[in-house]
Amino acid sequence: MASVLIAGGRVLDPASGLDRAADVAVKDGKIAAIGPGLARPGVDRVINAEGCLVTPGLIDPHVHLREPGQEHKETIASGARAAVAGGFTTVCCMPNTSPALDTPELVRFVLGRGEQSAARVFPVAAISKQRRGNELAEISLMARAGAVGFSDDGDCVASAGLMARALAVVKPTGLAIMQHAQDPTLTKGASMHAGEIALKLGLGGWPRVAEEVIVERDIRLNRGIGCRYHVQHISSGETVAILRRARAEGQPVSGEASPHHLLLTHEACIGADGLGYNTMAKVNPPVRETSDMKALREGIADGTITVLATDHAPHTDSEKALPFEEAPFGLVGLETALALYIEALVSSGVIGWMKLVQLMTVGPAKLCGLDRMGLGRLEVGGPGDVTVIDPEVKWTIGQKDLVGASNNTPFLGRKVKGRAIATVVGGEVKWEGGR
């Protein structure tokens, strides 16, 4: 395996607090040295990181890779290519595939495909059989097979009885339950945030409370159990307040934010020129109002939200061309998330670089137990996963930047700043470009 020297950058490692000008040497798949002026002779490849941030490989704990079953939208290999182009060295994929990831065999299938891909890929397995919300899936066997968390994402575990059992059964695995919080009895027929714009567009509204009641309920169910409980793609400002209170009580709860909930409001669902609809902004849970965006940003700044995730959800152009109510929920995010987070959080002064990197490395690694494999930090002898970020490069998000198999994003044409210019996975340069 070729050796790589990432030279002359500012090395940021939130796990150890390291923030200094240094080189990073990667050899035989591992970090070989971190320090200023490392020797170049014998190095196979030098990456010039002057003016760049050199960070642990970014981790996205929430993506949809559509394999098995919908490979025309994304495969594990194409999703992994999108990941490394966005600076991610590891992604954790959701179980709403066809069939659903609800057996140890399917967990092993994803791990096997991941091994042949550009990024590390770990499956989050289903909580219930076929994600139907009725019967628990083979939790312990799937944990043993290598699942890194449990979720019925795409759907909520709506039954309190099933959630209580799931919390109890997942607890001894040490992994987290990740809840797609949405009481389906409150969102039936809804396709966007319940507010002024839904009324204007004549669309069914999706109230914040649909998310909040599930999070309140689950936290209460978990009081006597103490399983790790994580709220996926938070959309409501009040959910942040609920999590803040639970964390202050010492409960093992966490939450994640996605780029679109930090940058878009329900107005994004209106079509270009104020006419018609924009299905690219149709997402579950929906983008809401400025007050929610503000509360999410505050939750990130004060440490209530510890994880950033893309919820990368590829769909075909023809599906997104359907009328708003029929079009599928979701948008792709792997290639664009880093720049969008920089805009929403760093350029706007909500947090600094170290904290951003922490939310994209340490936070997700801990959530999915990947810290036990040494992922999410830069450490001599640890995995050679490194992301090089040019914080100054300006670019406009275009079709050519979407290297995955689908194009559904409302951010096409947006002018952004900051980009991964090199992504090293297990000591191999899997992406270089973007400048």
CA distances from 282 to 24, 89, 408 (A): 41, 27, 10
Q: List binders of ligand DOR among 134-153 (CB under 6 A).
A: 153
CA dist 295 and 230 (Å) reads 18
Nearer to ligand DOR, 192 or 242 (CB): 192
Instruction: At 404, list the tokens.
Output: 């995955």
Q: How far is the CB of 64 from ligand DOR (least distance, A)?
A: 4
Q: List binders of ligand DOR among 194-213 (CB under 6 A).
A: none
Nearer to ligand DOR, 197 or 424 (CB): 197
Cβ contact 121:65 at 8 Å: yes
CA dist 128 and 180 (Å) reads 13
| Full strand arrangement of the beta sheet holding 228-231 | 150-151, 176-179, 228-231, 253-257, 307-308
Q: Does 154 bind ligand DOR (CB under 6 A)?
A: yes
Pick from 265, 268, 310, 291: which is nearest to 91 by CA? 310
Name which position in 10, 30, 64, 260 contacts ligand DOR (CB under 6 A): 64
Contacts of 130 (CB under 8 A, 6+ apart): 99, 100, 102
Q: How far is the CB of 329 from ligand DOR (least distance, A)?
A: 3
Cβ contact 284:193 at 8 Å: no
Nearer to ligand DOR, 153 or 256 (CB): 153
User: Count of residues binding ligand DOR (CB under 6 A)?
Assistant: 12
Nearer to ligand DOR, 364 or 383 (CB): 364
Counting Cα atoms < 13 Å in the Cβ hemisphere of 312 gives 36
Name which position in 96, 179, 304, 387 contacts ligand DOR (CB under 6 A): 96
Q: List binders of ligand DOR among 216-255 (CB under 6 A).
A: none
CA dist 309 and 373 (Å) reads 20
Stretch of 84-92, 142-150, 223-231, 327-335 contacting ligand DOR, by CB under 6 A: 327-335
Q: Does 395 bind ligand DOR (CB under 6 A)?
A: no
Q: How far is the CB of 218 from ligand DOR (least distance, A)?
A: 16
CA dist 6 and 270 (Å) reads 44
Q: Does 131 bind ligand DOR (CB under 6 A)?
A: no
Which is catalytic among the residues 155, 311, 385, 390?
Answer: 311
Q: List binders of ligand DOR among 274-303 (CB under 6 A).
A: 283-284
Nearer to ligand DOR, 255 or 330 (CB): 330
Q: Is the peptide bond before 364 cis (omega within 30 degrees of 0)?
A: no
Told to judge if 311 belongs to the known catalytic residues of this protein, a careful annotator would answer: yes
Cβ contact 424:385 at 8 Å: yes
Q: How far is the CB of 389 from ligand DOR (least distance, A)?
A: 27
Write out the residues near ligand DOR by the rule CB under 6 A.
64, 96, 153-154, 180, 283-284, 311, 313, 328-330
Which residues are part of the catalytic machinery? 311
